[in-house]
Amino acid sequence: MQGQCLQAGIVQKLDKSEKLQQWLKQWPPKKRGYLVVLSDCDQHPQQDWINNDEQVFGTQGTLAVMKFRNRFIPIVNNGRSRFKSYPVKLEQGRLVFQDQKKQVSCLIPKNNFRFEHAPLEQCQNDPELKKLSRWLYALPPEPGEEGLSGLVGIDLDQDGIRDDVQRFIGVIAQDEPAEVKEAINKVAIIGQQELANAYDETTVLALFPQAIASFRCYLHRTKDDRRKYRKLRKEIEAKLYNTYDRLKAKNQINSYFGGMTISRPDDYEAQCNFQNE
């Protein structure tokens, strides 16, 4: 399964295509991305997709599946096909469609660009299918060795999260509800801002209330699951501070908080209202 991509409706993307750029401008950046399974797919020419929670759009039409014997084949429906097709949507990291019998299924990539399907309930509960049916969406390319240089690394989409960290979160949070993913992203954004300003004590201390609020927001949205909270914090910090220079910067950041006391808020839900600058 390494490197398996959704190949239906491949369009060679032209960076200078005025028509494509105009079309993309009408969609928020967070709704845009590639549908790929693993990082190996970054080297493939891929269809740009827009996910609006109901359908997945490409520059040539909507993502759908067409039944062929006992299989469902992914296609791009541009409204001109005379064959029956069923629209596909992205739901918690899975490509889901409903057939003529109202059976909700997920699309599972197989070798040689072949696809299978299974009832959505199986895809969510069977350990093997749960892994195979996952799709990454709207993630930047793997930055490679270049992403290990300096403190700030590579952030191609300018969303405030380093690309390797963003890809990592995309994998570990695929099955999480949208509000939990938002909280995780806030944790990462503030962590990246602290790292970028590690040797500026004034800026780091100014960020501290947002850093605490981001973790409290995550804790609230995961129903006060402190085991999950500690695990996530350890995983993100391991990814964020993944070089000697970044670990050194982390120690510098920690030195600013010596002797500081932190009060416990009455309303944890309100901690989610802060805005990342």
pLDDT tens by residue, 145-191: 889 999 999 998 788 999 899 888 887 887 788 788 889 999 999 99
The residues spanned by each domain of the chain are: 18-137, 145-273
Q: 35 and 6 in contact (C-beta within 8 Å)?
A: yes
Distance, CA of 240 to CA of 247 (rounded, Å)? 9
Residues with Cβ within 8 Å of residue 88, at least 6 apart in sequence: 55, 56, 62, 63, 64, 65, 74, 95, 96, 97, 107
DSSP H or E run through 158? none
Distance, CA of 219 to CA of 67 (rounded, Å)? 44
Which regions in the chain score pLDDT beneath 70? Answer: 1-48, 59, 81, 111-113, 266, 268, 274-277
What is the pTM (predicted TM-score) of this model?
0.69
151 exposed, middle or buried (CB, 10 Å; 0-12, 13-18, 19+)? middle
The whole-number pLDDT of residue 276 equals 54
Q: Give the tens place of pLDDT for each residue, 85-98.
A: 899 998 877 889 99
The whole-number pLDDT of residue 170 equals 81
The whole-number pLDDT of residue 19 equals 60
